[in-house]
Amino acid sequence: MWQAGRVPGVVVRAASGALAGVVAYSLVLRGRQLTWGSTAEEVATRLPGDELLAETDLTATRAITIRAGVEDVWPWLAQMGQGRGGLYSYDWLENLAGCQMESSDEVVAAWQDVRIGDEFRLHPDVALTVVGSEPQRSLVVQGGISATGRVSTDDPGAPYDFTWAFVLVPQTSDRTRLIVRERYWHNTVAARPMTELVSVVSFIMTERMLRGIRDRAERSTRHHRAHTRRSS
């Protein structure tokens, strides 16, 4: 039995372990997951969409190299979203939350027209707004989720505002860097632990998404080159 004034050793050890985990994440893992795959220059550089939030409380910049030209990567970005090409991540995890996500393995012509003001759906009932679209260069979406689940770029009830930018940087004619940046601005004090948790989940999903886009773009490029050789 517990004795008055004394804390069981198992509780102390559990609390110490939890504290050690928080400290380790803060000192080491947090910085790595927020900058996964990106260079110091990419983290520091200004990207399309950065102008939408004058200040931010949390920023994540993640990136991957794709062995394909920007013209072969862009179609996969243009068709992103629930009810369209999906997010190329863990569909089964997203569908546990009712997202009804199905990532496409093909470029679909009907999904290539993306314009400012369009919805960028994460779920049948949740959509961000396209606020920037420059073909073969960048796609930017924005939205804050309120306590009611409503997404808006101007809802004062939303605990935080959020921008999500997908930027293509050509390195050569057949090599592209895809940089994905998330920027969060807190409207309430409660938003901080919320966005910290969101950023961890986002890292898991974004890492898979980046690989998913890379694999699809590289595969379609290989098929196109093989078809061109057979036709010549």
Per the structure block, which two tokens stand in for 79? 């068709």
Q: Kindly report the CATH class assigned to 32-226.
A: alpha beta
Amino acid at 48: P
Ranges of each domain in the chain: 32-226
- So what's the pLDDT on residue 46? 97
- Please, are residues 37 and 62 in contact by the beta-carbon 8 Å criterion? yes
Nearest to 180 by CA among 72, 76, 71: 76
**More confident site: 156 or 148:** 156
Helices (H) and strands (E) in the chain, counts: 6, 8
- Please, are residues 59 and 226 in contact by the beta-carbon 8 Å criterion? no
User: CB-based contacts of 110: which residues, under 8 Å, 6+ apart?
Assistant: none
Distance of alpha carbon 140 from alpha carbon 155, whole angstroms: 19
Q: Lowest mean pLDDT of 5-19, 121-135, 165-179, 186-200, name the range.
A: 5-19
Q: Lowest mean pLDDT of 2-11, 84-93, 140-149, 165-174, name the range.
A: 2-11
Task: Tell me the pLDDT tens digit for each residue of 57-97.
Answer: 999 999 999 999 999 999 999 999 999 999 999 999 999 99
Amino acid at 3: Q
- So what's the pLDDT on residue 24? 45
Whether pTM exceeds 0.85: no
Query: Beta partners for 183?
Result: 59, 163
